[in-house]
Structures are given as C-alpha cells and as structure tokens.
Structure 1
Amino acid sequence: MTPPIPWPTALTIAGSDSGGGAGIQADLRTFAFHRVHGTSALTCVTAQNTLGVTRVDALAPEAVVAQLDAITSDIAVQAIKTGMLLNQDIIQAVATSLEQRPTPVVVDPVMVSRTGAQLIDDNAIAILIRTLIPQAHILTPNRHEAQLLSGLDISTLADMEAAARRIHQLGPQAVLVKGGGMGEPLRGTDVWFDGHEVMVLATEAVDTRHTHGTGCTLSAAIAANLALGKAPLTAAKDGKDYVTRALNHALAIGQGQGPVGHFFPLLVDQP
C-alpha cells in the first residue's frame, strides 16, 4: 500500500461566526483555498449575520485546551493562528498551552474592531499583551489595536511605522500594522517590521462595503502560507495579495456587510 502523502496542516483557534463571514468559518475556507488542511479549536459561539452580533457564548477554557490537545497529539500542525479568544481565562489557557509547542503562531489580537469598538475588556487585553503577544511569530493588529498597543495616535504612514517599531518591543518576532480601516491614501497599505527593517506593503484599495472577515482571512492566509513553508515576510505579502483578490469578489449577501469571496476563482464568471 502506498503511504499517505504528508499534507500541510494549520490550526485556527477562534470563535464561530454563524453568518459564515469571519471567525472559524472564514479561516477554514482560507486554509482550503491554499490547499492546507484546516483544524480548529473553538473558543466561543456567536449568533450573528451581516447586520451584527446578537449573542456570544464562551466555551470553558478547559474545553478549548482539550481541543488543542486532541489535535496536536495526533496531527502534525505546521502553523497556528489565533483569532477571537474573548476573555482573560481563555487567553491565559491558550497562551499556556502554546508555550509548550514550537509551531509558528500568527496572532490576530481581535481586541478592537476596525471601527474602533473594543471587543474584550481591559483585563483580557492586559493578559493578551503579557502572555500571548510575546509568543507571536507574526502579530497583525489593525489601526485601533496598534494605537492601543503602541500608545500612539496613528494617522500617517510615519505613525504606522513608529507604532510597528514600538509594538515589536512587546515581544512578537514580526508586526504587520494593517491600514485597512484608514482613509486615503493609506487604505490598502500595511507596515511590516521584524526588528531589522520596516517595509511598506501596499496594494490597490478595493471599493466595497462588503469587507466582513478581512482580518480573520488575512491572519489565516498568512498561517496557511507559513504551513506551506514560506518565509514570514513572503507569507505576509502573499496573504495580503489573497485578501485583496478576495475583496475584489466580495459577496453582496444579506442586508448588511457581506464577506470577502474566499473562493474567488469560482466567482469570476458569476454576476
């Protein structure tokens, strides 16, 4: 019998989005697009659609860790991403669990939405900064999260660069400050800093209101590229390119903000 072919595998630790636009659902679709097997550890269940979130139920920290243990005790995982961890107990449990694993981790901090709404409380943020962010191989804060982490106001490219440098001092190996929520001319511009050089990653700004799940999708795409063996900066560049192309085929579904088109090659000929 021919032995099974080793297959690149990634793990997402995040919440469920019942509307399918973000969270675990977006992550697994992104992994699949990259031909990376997706595994998942659920942190919370949300009731949401394109109009917003109406309920959030957290899993017990022990249940989250049990999922991590079940996956990693059996399946070789080449990259991990974290998304919505929701509260301080889950953050602490995940951080403690990941300390025992050498796998590269992409941390999407999910502390503040791109509109500026704080998503987790101050105690959870403090624990995230102290325990999980220092373990990140790549940290992907949006503008508001970067402001919180750096203590700087961000309105210019120079501000983004200064924030990336300051956030790097918190311990991650590399920081990607995202400019997706910023106005022109910085919309579509991110800033990378890995402790050695600052690099501006700029792509076209896509004119669409259907951007739900872009942050989840980017961090998942970066993790998928790491699982494929790409270097961190290449993984970030390719992940950003994927999100841009997916935004160009965003889905106008529901009455609110639709998701990006994760399987955009299948949508090219669609109306």
Structure 2
Amino acid sequence: MEKKVALSIAGSDSSAGAGIQADLKSFSFLGVYGVTAITCVTAQNTRQVRFIYKVPAAIIEAQIETLCDDFSLDAVKTGMLYDEEIVHVVAHQLKKHHLRPVVDPVMVATSGDALSNKGFIVSLKKELVPYSLMVTANVPEACSLANMTITDEKDVEKAAKDIFDLGPEYVLIKGGHLQGDMVTDVLYDGKAFHHFTLPRIPQKKAHGSGCTLSALITGLLSVGEPPVSAVSKAKSIVWSMIHEGYTPGKGADVLNHSTTVQIPPIIQYSEQFDVWLQLKNAVETLLPFLPVQLIPEVGTNFVYALPNATKRTDVCGIQGRISRYKDQALLCGNLDFGASKHVASIVLAAMSSDPTMRSALNIRYAEKTLKVCTKLGCTLGSFDRGLEPKNASSTMEWGTNHAIATAGYVPDIIFDSGAVGKEPMIRVLGKNPQDVLTKIKRIADASFP
C-alpha cells in the first residue's frame, strides 16, 4: 500500500483539539500519512493556554531536514510558528527543499490566548507568505496581514486581494467571525473569487477548526485535488466535524474527526443543504429504534426530495442503505443526491400526483405489518408486478402511479408482494422525513411492543 505524505509544521496542543494533533487526525481522516515538525510545546486545555515552550530553532530545522531526507512530501502546511526566528528557519527549509506550504497564520487560540509575539506578523509577511501556495486566514488574522478592518464581505474581498499581492498563489479568508446565520469563506486565485457558504452552527466554539481546515486542504492537495475543490471539500468536512463535535473538557467543544461523520455533498444552493440536513437528522433518529425485523434483505433506503423535484439527482438518499448487523440497524454509506434509484422513483412518481409527498422509506414485507398499518389507520395502496406493461420504463414508477390511480390519492403505504427474483416490499411515504419517522415509529411500536 502506498500513501501520500503530508507534513505539518506547527505547535503541539496538549488537549489534542488543535495543533499538530488535529492535523494528524485530519490527515488520517483522508487516508494520508502525516509527519510533523514541532515548533512549540504548549500546556493548554479546552479553557486556556498556560505555558508555551518554544522549540530551539536548531531542533526545528533538524526535524524538517530529517523528514525531507527520507520522505517524498506531497504537501506541507504551517501552523503555529510563534516568532520571527521560527518563521525564518521554516521559510529557509521550505525554500531549500522546494516546498510551497499552505500557511495557516495562527495568532490566537480559541480561548483567546496569544500564540505569537509582536515580531511574528512582519516576518511572516516578508519571508513565508510570498512563498506560500495558499494562506488560510480567519478575519482577525486577515486584518493583521492586510492591515485593514474587515466588517463585511466587500472588505473580505479587498483584504484577499491585498494579501494576494504579498505573493501567495491563493488566499482563503474564513468568514466565521462575521455576523449572520450563514458563514461564507472566500478564496481568491488572482483572477476570481470563489465563495463557499454553509449555515452557522450555533453554540459551538469549535476548538481546532482552523487547524483542521488547513490540514484537510493540505491533505486533499496531497492526493491531487485542485485548490478550489480542496477548499470546497474541506469546508464541508469541517462543517460536519463541528456539527458532530463534543465537549471532552470543561471549556470549548472540539471537532469529531471520526470517519463515521456524515459529510454534506457539494451544495449548489441552500435548499439542497436543508434537504440533506433534515434527512441526516431523521436517519440518526431512526437507527436506534428501527427493529432489524423491519429491514429487508436488500436493505432500507430513506429519501427526501427537493421541492418540485423531477429527476433522481433531485432526491437525497443513502448511497449504501441501512443494513442489519446482528441486532442493530447499521448505516452503510453517505447521504447524497442521486444515491437512490428505487425509493427515489417512488417519491418522484408520488410527487407527480401530490407535490407535498416528498419523502419515503422501504421496509420488509409482512402480512402482519400490513395488518398493523391498517389498524393504525394508515391508508394502503398496492400494485402487482405481474401486471406491469412490457413498455414500462420503471417498475417503481409504474407501480406507484398504478397504486395512486387505484386509491385516488397518495396513500401512506404502497406495497407489492414481489415476483421471481424480486423481494416483496412495503414503502412508507410522507411529506418530509419527520412525517415518515412518525409513521415508522408507530408501526415499529405496534409490531414489536
């Protein structure tokens, strides 16, 4: 097995939320082998930075030199460099080995404690930024680098141009410090601005989010992602890591670097994100209570369509479905648009009759389950695969339309008793994932009290 190698030149965070610890976890998340050169050792927790030990310049130099003698480095990032002496040593080594880094100009910790001294900015702008591939700055850092005040997106774009004029190939300014329910990061490549927007996650301090973002960008660059794509994907990953973060100490929350986090797909507009997030939350609610007896052999899919959806790529579903593992329901795969074929076809057909019926989920067929549905007051519709016309383009589309036409409306349940090589199936339909969840919960509770 061969892996790409990424180097982080940064400080050590004893709480493991930021610094090289966050960088290594980010590289590992991407399947990239991470190596490090430690610039400072900090004594910090989720509440404060108590002490900073600056690693001697000769040791920092030796770490980088030793790594370059052995590894073919595919990408490099810098984090906490602390002062002008470290900046000088790092810049010299990177130039010597022809490595253009992603520069995260770390100046202050999430706790508000300073992670750099007064001479740091001048040295960074003179020696390292001009040689960098990309600078990833938050708003306060961008203010320092561009020597200006930033209060809105127009200021962000001006600051990005000013920092670009210092010499980097790309400038990314993160918008988390600006006001608003949406957070927009702006990437400037010297010709155009690229905007990446996702909803703000309230009540999160997200210790280590800046380190993680720059490390993910670096890791993605190491595996061949173009810079614009690397930033887009990294932002989506960080959003999920923050969203599914937790609070291990008494201070700031930290990111969840687990590979099980659900990453939002590349979003073209806000409605897509809303649909994805509602479905994600519904799936997470479903898994703990879904009886494995209701999971069919082919697995369960759960979908939610955009308003006015007309094609499969307008429907968000589970790429790998929900499967049975021992006595638990297990999610296998990510949520994405176009991931479902059969259940998506059912929803699209239902929406052609009733545009409000945008969600559905399939469960195992059983006469007992149908009786439970009837007893609960659910409306039922069905189709017989044996009656499908030979010229039908889709069994699910034809069957759903047939069931709706026979009932005269879109029922809560559409089922079929299968055919040779085709598993019988029950589908639960609803206006949205929460509506479907409510119906499934009632069915599960009544079927397995």
Computed over aligned residues only, the root mean square deviation of the Cα atoms, in angstroms, reads: 1.9
Question: Sequence identity of aligned pairs in percent?
Answer: 37
Partner of 1:217: 212
**Within 5 Å, which residues of 2 pair with 1:1-271?**
5-113=1-109, 118-185=114-181, 187-263=182-258, 265=260
Q: Distance in 1 between matches of 2:112 and 2:13?
A: 20
Assess if the C-alpha contact under 8 Å between 2:78 and 2:104 holds in 1: yes
Larger relative contact order (CA 8 Å, sep ≥ 6): 1
The number of residue pairs the alignment matches comes to 265
Assess if the C-alpha contact under 8 Å between 1:208 and 1:247 holds in 2: no
Q: Distance in 1 between matches of 2:110 and 2:21?
A: 19
Q: Distance in 2 between matches of 1:39 and 1:208?
A: 33
Q: Distance in 1 between matches of 2:209 and 2:259?
A: 14
**Which range moved further: 223-232 or 151-160?**
151-160
Assess if the C-alpha contact under 8 Å between 2:94 and 2:100 holds in 1: no
Assess if the C-alpha contact under 8 Å between 1:114 and 1:142 holds in 2: no
Quote the offset at 1:117 in angstroms. Answer: 6.1
Q: Distance in 2 between matches of 1:116 and 1:258?
A: 14
Q: Distance in 2 between matches of 1:249 and 1:192?
A: 25
Partner of 2:426: none
Q: Distance in 2 between matches of 1:221 and 1:252?
A: 22
Partner of 2:301: none
Residues 103-126 of structure 1, C-alpha deviation per residue, up to 9 Å, x if partnerless? Answer: 341000112456876532232211
- Judging changes above 3 Å, is the alpha-carbon distance between structure 1 residues 31 and 64 closer, same or farther for their aligned structure 2 residues? same
Residues 78-116 of structure 1, C-alpha deviation per residue, up to 9 Å, x if partnerless? Answer: 000000011211111001111122334100011245687
Q: Distance in 2 between matches of 1:74 and 1:155?
A: 46
Assess if the C-alpha contact under 8 Å between 1:116 and 1:144 holds in 2: no
Q: Which amino acid aligns with 1:133?
A: V
Quote the offset at 1:237 in angstroms. Answer: 1.0
Quote the offset at 1:61 in angstroms. Answer: 0.8
**Which range moved further: 80-89 or 28-37?**
80-89
Which ranges of 4 or more aligned residues in structure 1 deviate by more than 4 Å? 112-118, 266-270
* Max Rg structure: 2
Assess if the C-alpha contact under 8 Å between 2:46 and 2:111 holds in 1: no
User: Could you tell me the TM-score, scaled by structure 1's length?
Assistant: 0.92
Quote the offset at 1:166 in angstroms. Answer: 1.0
Assess if the C-alpha contact under 8 Å between 2:217 and 2:231 holds in 1: yes
User: Could you tell me the TM-score, scaled by structure 2's length?
Assistant: 0.57
Q: Distance in 1 between matches of 2:176 and 2:160?
A: 15
Q: Distance in 1 between matches of 2:42 and 2:110?
A: 18
Residues 221-265 of structure 1, C-alpha deviation per residue, up to 9 Å, x if partnerless? Answer: 000000001111111111111111101111121111021111151
- Judging changes above 3 Å, is the alpha-carbon distance between structure 1 residues 27 and 77 closer, same or farther for their aligned structure 2 residues? same
**Which range moved further: 103-112 or 234-243?**
103-112
Residues 124-173 of structure 1, C-alpha deviation per residue, up to 9 Å, x if partnerless? Answer: 21111100011110100110111111122111111111111111001111
Assess if the C-alpha contact under 8 Å between 2:39 and 2:54 holds in 1: yes
- Judging changes above 3 Å, is the alpha-carbon distance between structure 1 residues 266 and 192 closer, same or farther for their aligned structure 2 residues? closer
Q: Distance in 2 between matches of 1:188 and 1:47?
A: 31
Assess if the C-alpha contact under 8 Å between 2:205 and 2:253 holds in 1: yes
Assess if the C-alpha contact under 8 Å between 1:81 and 1:107 holds in 2: yes
